[in-house]
Amino acid sequence: MIPSVRLSPAPAAFSGSNLRSKSASIPSISSLKPSKYVVSSLRPLYLAPLEGPRTAELKPQRRQPLEFRCAASAADDKESNAQVPVQSEGAQRLKISIYFATWWALNVIFNIYNKKVLNAFPYPWLTSTLSLACGSAMMIFSWATRLVEAPKTDLDFWKVLFPVAVAHTIGHVAATVSMSKVAVSFTHIIKSAEPAFSVFVSRFLLGETFPVPVYLSLIPIIGGCALAAVTELNFNMVGFMGAMISNLAFVFRNIFSKKGMKGKSVSGMNYYACLSIMSLVILTPFAIAMEGPQMWAAGWQKALAEVGPNVIWWIAAQSVFYHLYNQVSYMSLDQISPLTFSVGNTMKRISVIVSSIIIFHTPVRPVNALGAAIAILGTFLYSQVIWLLLRFPCGSAFPL
């Protein structure tokens, strides 16, 4: 029970030594008359943790307005809260930038060794299978030794992963077939049209809408790729179609991956590991049917005779770097949308195209280089349009 306090006009002072005894003599509220005593909400009530239902004596003071520093504190809190998202956003951008830089560097190394392997051992189905097998073995070893925590998956997870694995398998094999038939630079020039595939798939199959500038930015991408294809010195229809099929397959892979990762506790690293394992299971029987052990044995003997033991190192390197660059890309996909992923995937092709032309001494005609430059410029404009739409929203339904 909370006792009332008698308000006396004369000030009373109590020392700390007699506070307990004085407070014990205060009558309970039930025994007091309301006419003689008033409980004021303007005076502070000090409660002490004494034994029993008792209170601390209230020291009478001259009534003064209470002063609070709520305004200053609220302003400080508001300012502090406003700074946290900015710092978090900056750290997030830095993290994604590091992912992208690492992803691009690993992809350049993979493409160099992959082309060396295909020049000496032109069996893209087996090469694709070995890449997936190497990555699967690396992750299984990491899980077994607890270097990486194994993912907790169920049947529903593998059901959702299946269409992603199918698209990934088709895209991987198609790109490898393309690079076995044409130059690395030409394959990646054609694959720079991936944003166009992403927009068209999102528009016509997923029902997404885009502002007009997005469609306009696709014109130089498509035109540049067409000019580069027409003027390619070593044009091959199988190589061209392989790059186009790879574009379409990887767009579906990215869309399915982003949807499959929503609400899942599996990290990007483990997600891609599971994807590699399932893709390996899907691809292996098709690789045996398309090429077979007899063709592989004959090609292997020829590769050893022409190149020597270096081909073993090349196969191992391209397999390892293939898994690493895809693993990093999926770690970045944790943070971004499929469309942004396609932009980053296209921008990295600049370094791949330039490095492959230098290393393999690929002949390039001026008009072919112009087509490649237009396609790359279109990709840059496309990314800038997306950035502007993100910074200055126009109210359109945009999947970023």
Least Cα distance to 190 among 234, 236, 228, 237 occurs for 228
More confident residue, 293 or 388: 293
Q: What is the mean pLDDT of the chain?
A: 78
More confident residue, 203 or 258: 203
Out of 50-59, 87-96, 107-116, 196-205, least confident range: 50-59
Out of 154-168, 205-219, 336-350, 373-387, least confident range: 336-350
Q: Look up residue 82 and give its two tokens.
A: 């406003």
Out of 184-198, 243-257, 333-347, least confident range: 333-347
pLDDT band at 267 (very low <50, low <70, confident <90, very high): confident
What pLDDT, on a 0 to 100 scale, did the predictor assign at position 179?
Answer: 94
pLDDT band at 19 (very low <50, low <70, confident <90, very high): very low
* Domain range summary for the chain, segments of one domain joined by +: 97-391
User: How far is it, in rounded angstroms, from Cα 371 to Cα 327?
Assistant: 31
Q: How many residues are recorded in the chain?
A: 400
More confident residue, 377 or 143: 143
Least Cα distance to 356 among 112, 106, 105 occurs for 112
Most confident range, picked from 6-10, 53-57, 101-105, 217-221: 217-221
User: How far is it, in rounded angstroms, from Cα 122 to Cα 299?
Assistant: 8
Least Cα distance to 336 among 84, 83, 103, 86 occurs for 103
Task: Provide the 3-class DSSP secondary structure of residue 68.
Answer: coil
What pLDDT, on a 0 to 100 scale, did the predictor assign at position 262?
Answer: 62
**pLDDT tens digits, residue range 270-306?**
888 999 999 999 999 999 999 999 999 999 999 999 9
User: How far is it, in rounded angstroms, from Cα 177 to Cα 197?
Assistant: 20
Q: What is the dihedral of CA 356, 362, 364, 370, to 10 degrees?
A: -10
User: How far is it, in rounded angstroms, from Cα 339 to Cα 379?
Assistant: 12
Q: Look up residue 355 and give its two tokens.
A: 């490095």
User: How far is it, in rounded angstroms, from Cα 286 to Cα 176?
Assistant: 15
Residues 6+ apart with CB under 8 A from 399: 202, 208, 337, 338, 339
What pLDDT, on a 0 to 100 scale, did the predictor assign at position 72?
Answer: 42
More confident residue, 71 or 211: 211
Give, as one character, the DSSP assignment of residue 262: T
- pLDDT at residue 366 tops 70: yes
**Could you identify the residue written with the tokens 């044009």?**
235
Spatial contact of 188 and 273, defined as CB atoms under 8 Å apart: no
Average pLDDT estimate for 207-226:
89
Q: 186: alpha, beta or left, given left = phi > 0 and alpha = psi -120 to 50?
A: alpha
User: How far is it, in rounded angstroms, from Cα 54 to Cα 361?
Assistant: 94
Least Cα distance to 344 among 353, 332, 327, 356 occurs for 332
Q: Look up residue 24 and give its two tokens.
A: 């014990």
Spatial contact of 278 and 162, defined as CB atoms under 8 Å apart: yes
Spatial contact of 204 and 182, defined as CB atoms under 8 Å apart: no
Q: Cα–Cα–Cα angle for 96, 102, 103, nearest 5°?
A: 85
Residue-wise burial string across 15-31, b where 16 or more C-beta atoms lie within 10 A, e elsewhere = eeeeeeeebeebeeeee
| CB half-sphere exposure, 250, CA atoms < 13 A | 27
- Which runs of consecutive H residues, i.e. helices, occur in the chain? 19-24, 70-120, 124-144, 155-181, 184-191, 194-204, 212-230, 237-261, 268-290, 293-306, 310-333, 338-360, 366-391
- pLDDT at residue 8 tops 70: no
Average pLDDT estimate for 261-276:
80
Spatial contact of 247 and 190, defined as CB atoms under 8 Å apart: yes
**pLDDT tens digits, residue range 55-71?**
444 445 555 554 444 44
User: How far is it, in rounded angstroms, from Cα 196 to Cα 207?
Assistant: 15
What pLDDT, on a 0 to 100 scale, did the predictor assign at position 326?
Answer: 84
The reported pTM is 0.71
